[in-house]
Amino acid sequence: MKINNESEYEKASERADEIFGAKKGSPEEQELKELLKAIKDYEDDFIRMLKENE
């Protein structure tokens, strides 16, 4: 999963909030893990871009 823009980021964040606390071993837990990784990757890329433009 890859987040490509702010709109996708917002949707991913909202979905992560919805399923936060998913039961261990559930499909929602796996989805949450994928969402959180994609969110972190997007944030890291955004921060990297900001630093490059300083």
Mean pLDDT per block of 10 residues along the chain (54 residues) reads 96 97 96 98 95 89
pLDDT at res. 19? 97
Q: At what angle do helices 27-52 and 6-19 cross, to 10 degrees?
A: 140
Q: Give domain status of residue 45, yes or no.
A: yes
Cβ-contact 23, 36 below 8 angstroms: no
Domain containing 33 equals 6-52
- pLDDT at 54 (0 to 100): 84
Evaluate the CA torsion angle 7, 24, 30, 27 in order and state its sign: negative
Residue 33: the pLDDT is: 97
Q: What is the value of pTM for the model shown?
A: 0.88
Residues in the chain: 54
Quick check: is 1 in a domain?
Answer: no
The DSSP code for 36 is H
- The total number of structural domains in the chain stands at 1
